[in-house]
Structure 1
Amino acid sequence: MTRMSTLSAMITVLLLLSAASTLIADTPALTDPPRHDFPRVGEYEVLCGDFHMHTVNSDGEQTTREKVLEAYNYGYDAIAITDHGTARSYRLAASLARPLGLIVLRGAEMDIRDRPHLVVLNVSADYQPRNPRWAAGPGEENAFYQDQMREIRLAGGLIVYAHPHAGFTDAVQWGIAEGIVRGVEVKNAEVGSGYDTVESHGTYCYPFAFDWALDHDLALFANSDSHNARSGDQPVTLVLVKERSPSGVTEAIRELRTVAWFKGMLWGREELLSKLIESTVKVRRTPEGILVENCGPVALTAALTGVAGNLIEIEPYGEKLIGAEAGGDTISVTWQNVWISPRENLRSAFDVTTR
């Protein structure tokens, strides 16, 4: 090797070391994530997920490493990085997440001529998108959306309708009928008041998508769609899994075992939310009165029937003593921040026999 080539090699190594040290310096440090555990719901473990986010591999501002560590610091258990038209982030994300106990689904985001945006989840490497923007009909230069959806199904994946601003389009309905579109976002933090959101329930969201989910057997999602560093409260998709793995998360989504948690609310199906609340809330009579205990990370607002001063808030992992004046062995509760449709709160009844 000549002196010049040796010098060139040394300079290359120094540049690489400099780049690596800069990357490490810019990477967020690991912190203890906030407590976010729920009690088990029967055979299911409750995971906190975010299944829509972007990195520098498309139009995001953070690296894959930054995104994974940030998700861990925020307390997520399962994520998908969904860059536009590519799953390039997946391999690195999965390797970084594994020692942290964080589940990563292989994902990407596609769209059909700028209208419906579709998040692809848990698709195997067998699926290689021809282009990120699908054609609305056959015979066009870009890939036809029906052909691409079929390939996604063959590769074991599913689709979530992201920020559903385009409406209940023919393409989305076709994907639902084929069993490929399996979920819809009712909350997307990135779009704010844009993308045809509706000001409802104290925030901007998609209450009409809640109705779609109930009417067409779709899983509910609350995702960040994060393109840069997170700040403040973040939406969460709760997933009730039999197994803590990518396949376990995917099975739960297909079986509609998801709940959207955002802006202090829980949105979901009545049967699932009833079981979640039953596992999370303990109500019993004591000599001092009725004690209501919240064993989960969501503050709950409860209207209790037949109890003076009946509207109470129970802080996460907190308890509330509400007095001894309620008679009978059963107490009825309407959960003011738990929604089983855009128009109806969940109701529960608890046995308060002394025990």
Structure 2
Amino acid sequence: MDRRSCPGWCNFHCHTTCSDGSLTPQELAVQATDLGLEHLAITDHHSHRAYPLAQHTLATLQQQGCAVPKLWRGVEISAVLNTCLVHILALGYGEEAPLMPYLQGEAAYGEALQASVVVRAIHGAGGLASLAHPARYRLDFRCLIQAARQLQFDAVETWYDYDMLPRWCPSPLICDDVDQLRQDLGLLASCGTDTHSTSLKGR
């Protein structure tokens, strides 16, 4: 995965009307197919309701002879990391039970809001924990990525459009610095458009 992977090959961060997005799960699935995506994860905030709806649409499109993306389970979870409120992407999990406290449509509270607890729940569900858009928080991304590594995060959302351009494009310099640091720490890279609008080509 590199800066050219998104939005045309994979998208591991996007939203639907099941949280705060503008596309229905069905519309998003159709767009992903039209774009020729090979891998897709819908990561609504504290909700997995979009997954079966998108899955059904993709199955129908496939039956019609379309090449459809592989759909991965995903959810975006609010958590506290190093005293900072961040977002964690749970990707590719299989079992939902460990994540149920985070699939209720709103952020957890108390101990369950701690990043260490969230990461354990994601791993317990068989998924990967990725720190979303690390350079969008009040703390320096270097501190947050270091803290994430100590808590056994698996990945960092490396390629991200911090400039929020009309057509998604990873921001230079920042993304390169994030990429170098996550490599130095042995973390995987993820990327996604973080789409909330009506087009998967932008945010």
TM class by shorter chain equals 0.7 to 0.9
Alpha carbons 1:117, 1:161 under 8 Å: kept:
yes
Deviations 1:262-298 (A, max 9, x none): xxxxxxxxxxxxxxxxxxxxxxxxxxxxxxxxxxxxx
1:328 aligned residue: none
Alpha carbons 1:134, 1:144 under 8 Å: kept:
no
Structure-to-structure mapping, 1:219-234, within 5 angstroms: 219-230=188-199
Q: State whether structure 2 residue 153 is matched by structure 1 residue 186.
A: no
Relative to the length of structure 1, the TM-score reads 0.44
Q: Which runs of 5+ in 2 are unaligned?
A: 1-7
2:124 aligned residue: 154
Partner Cα distance (1:121, 1:157) in 2: 5
1:226 is paired with a residue whose SS is: coil
Partner Cα distance (1:49, 1:60) in 2: 18
Larger Rg: 1
Partner Cα distance (1:110, 1:57) in 2: 14
2:3 aligned residue: none
Relative to the length of structure 2, the TM-score reads 0.73
Alpha carbons 2:89, 2:132 under 8 Å: kept:
yes
1:90 aligned residue: 51
Structure-to-structure mapping, 1:214-253, within 5 angstroms: 214-230=183-199
Alpha-carbon shift at residue 75 of structure 1 (Å): 1.1
Alpha-carbon shift at residue 231 of structure 1 (Å): 6.6
2:184 is aligned with what amino acid? D
| Structure 1 residue ranges (4+ consecutive) displaced by more than 6 angstroms after TM superposition | none
Partner Cα distance (2:151, 2:115) in 1: 13
Aligned-pair identity (%): 24
1:185 is paired with a residue whose SS is: strand
Alpha-carbon shift at residue 184 of structure 1 (Å): 1.7
1:128 to 74, 78, 99: 99
1:106 to 73, 78, 87: 73
Alpha carbons 2:41, 2:74 under 8 Å: kept:
yes
Q: State whether structure 2 residue 143 is matched by structure 1 residue 176.
A: no
More helix by share: 2
Alignment CA distance shift 1:128-1:182 (3 Å):
closer
Alpha-carbon shift at residue 158 of structure 1 (Å): 0.7
1:271 aligned residue: none
1:206 is paired with a residue whose SS is: helix
Partner Cα distance (1:77, 1:231) in 2: 14
Alpha-carbon shift at residue 223 of structure 1 (Å): 1.4
Partner Cα distance (1:48, 1:227) in 2: 19
Aligned residue pairs, count: 175
Deviations 1:219-244 (A, max 9, x none): 22331111122275x69xxxxxxxxx
1:210 to 179, 185, 191: 179
1:61 aligned residue: 22
Alpha carbons 1:164, 1:184 under 8 Å: kept:
yes
1:217 is paired with a residue whose SS is: coil
Partner Cα distance (1:199, 1:228) in 2: 19
More strand by share: 1
Structure-to-structure mapping, 1:1-355, within 5 angstroms: 48-98=9-59, 99=62, 100=66, 101-113=68-80, 115-123=85-93, 124-131=95-102, 132-133=106-107, 140=110, 142-165=112-135, 166=137, 167-169=141-143, 172-179=145-152, 181-189=153-161, 192=164, 200=172, 205-230=174-199
Deviations 1:15-47 (A, max 9, x none): xxxxxxxxxxxxxxxxxxxxxxxxxxxxxxxx9
Alpha-carbon shift at residue 91 of structure 1 (Å): 1.4
User: Over aligned residue pairs, what C-alpha RMSD do you find?
Assistant: 2.9
Alpha carbons 1:61, 1:227 under 8 Å: kept:
yes
Alpha-carbon shift at residue 79 of structure 1 (Å): 0.2
2:15 is paired with a residue whose SS is: coil
1:133 is aligned with what amino acid? A
Partner Cα distance (1:66, 1:127) in 2: 29
